[in-house]
Structure 1
């Protein structure tokens, strides 16, 4: 399986994502600069890491929407291939209207870095088949804009369609609608999440609860490509 780490100016954790793929699931991975996104067709999955794209001016992820990468990213998602956006990568997917909703400043009005307990609400996806339904996992968060917002109609649609993939387990510090930590699109091939699984792939840095997510992607790809 071949992964692309799509890099925008200001994204600072591309190396973490690269490491998770190369060293944890031991698959081929390449960095793709946003102006070269016409190369995405050659990959099986695209990963959008966290950071502060374009300095988070206007809104987190807002200026990234003007990048030439977006037509290619939308085409890639429409093809049914897998897209994962974490942290600021989730912001970008929302700003591009690939995922619904919006982001607000955290309830505490400041940057927050912590390890959160997150519940797997739907393990019947390409990203979560390696977890148990209802499993609680520990994943880092690090954001000033982690407060996911969806209006009542959108929130109900997400719930009815089983698009809510992760929720915060012990409270909802940032204030996200329905305690949402991660959602997919209706097709289920695009996942956006605020927790950072790539920072939870080694015991030496605090735990491995992020590892099954990357193995889930690989398992799904294997099932689709078995002879």
Structure 2
């Protein structure tokens, strides 16, 4: 599959995401925030970083980038889209996912190896995992606390749209320990931890994040 990785001004994990896409068995295609088309890609990754300097709100300016008009339209047609950290924030600001990401509960930037449980393995990004699998993936954020109203949280839970949940101590105050969610169709996933930093033994956190990228192989033949 051809997987586009968008670079916004201020993105800093785009190259890491491109490498993870390649290790997952796909062709990475670099997309620029000003692009008016997706260059024929089959899936899109919105990477982590500080798009547009996180001015106004994280992801609030990026949602108006020309490329996001195309991403939103493609997602609504069923294209797999993964938003990682800042990319998750962009998906929420673009209304592809509900809720919002706010400042961490302890008002500090976090960087650690975070245990997670995969709650939903029925998305194009998580099918390589067993449901309930416990993994460890790098987490680094300053505004990673997921919030939503009670009705939305109940709907996410009831519809099985919580994709991943923090294990152990909640690192950032996310409601109901939510680390990632998906849309109703399941093709759009937002994840606060960084699977692209957990794809090689050399980097120290293991390879538990690689499944988010190898899962697309199964999706291509579904």
Rounded to whole Å, the distance in 2 between the matches of 1:195 and 1:86 is 7
From 81, 88, 94, give the equivalent of 2:79.
Answer: 81
Rounded to whole Å, the distance in 1 between the matches of 2:207 and 2:176 is 26
* Number of residue-to-residue matches in the alignment: 221
Contact 1:5–1:49 (8 Å) recurs in 2 = yes
Helix, strand or coil: the match of 2:37?
helix
1:156-198 residue CA offsets vs partner (Å, 9 max, x unmatched): 1101111001000112120001100000000100000001000
Contact 2:123–2:186 (8 Å) recurs in 1 = yes
Residue number in structure 2 paired with 1:7 = 7
Rounded to whole Å, the distance in 1 between the matches of 2:99 and 2:176 is 12
Q: Alpha carbon RMSD of aligned pairs, Å?
A: 1.0
Helix, strand or coil: the match of 2:115?
strand
Contact 1:16–1:198 (8 Å) recurs in 2 = yes
Rounded to whole Å, the distance in 2 between the matches of 1:115 and 1:104 is 21
Report how far residue 41 of structure 1 moved.
Answer: 5.8
Contact 1:41–1:76 (8 Å) recurs in 2 = no
Contact 1:54–1:63 (8 Å) recurs in 2 = yes
1:63 aligns with 2:61: yes
Report how far residue 69 of structure 1 moved.
Answer: 2.0
Residue number in structure 1 paired with 2:207 = 208
Residue number in structure 2 paired with 1:129 = 127
Report how far residue 118 of structure 1 moved.
Answer: 0.3
Rounded to whole Å, the distance in 1 between the matches of 2:29 and 2:122 is 28
| TM-score for both structures, normalised by structure 2 | 0.97
Helix, strand or coil: the match of 2:135?
strand
| TM-score for both structures, normalised by structure 1 | 0.95
Rounded to whole Å, the distance in 2 between the matches of 1:4 and 1:89 is 13
Residue number in structure 1 paired with 2:189 = 191
More helix, by proportion? 1
Rounded to whole Å, the distance in 2 between the matches of 1:217 and 1:151 is 31
From 166, 169, 179, give the equivalent of 1:168.
Answer: 166
Contact 1:91–1:103 (8 Å) recurs in 2 = yes
Report how far residue 210 of structure 1 moved.
Answer: 0.6
Structure 2, unaligned runs of 5 or more: none
Q: Extract structure 1 runs of 4+ deviating beyond 2 A.
A: none
Contact 2:38–2:67 (8 Å) recurs in 1 = no
Report how far residue 212 of structure 1 moved.
Answer: 1.3
Helix, strand or coil: the match of 2:185?
coil
Rounded to whole Å, the distance in 2 between the matches of 1:193 and 1:50 is 10
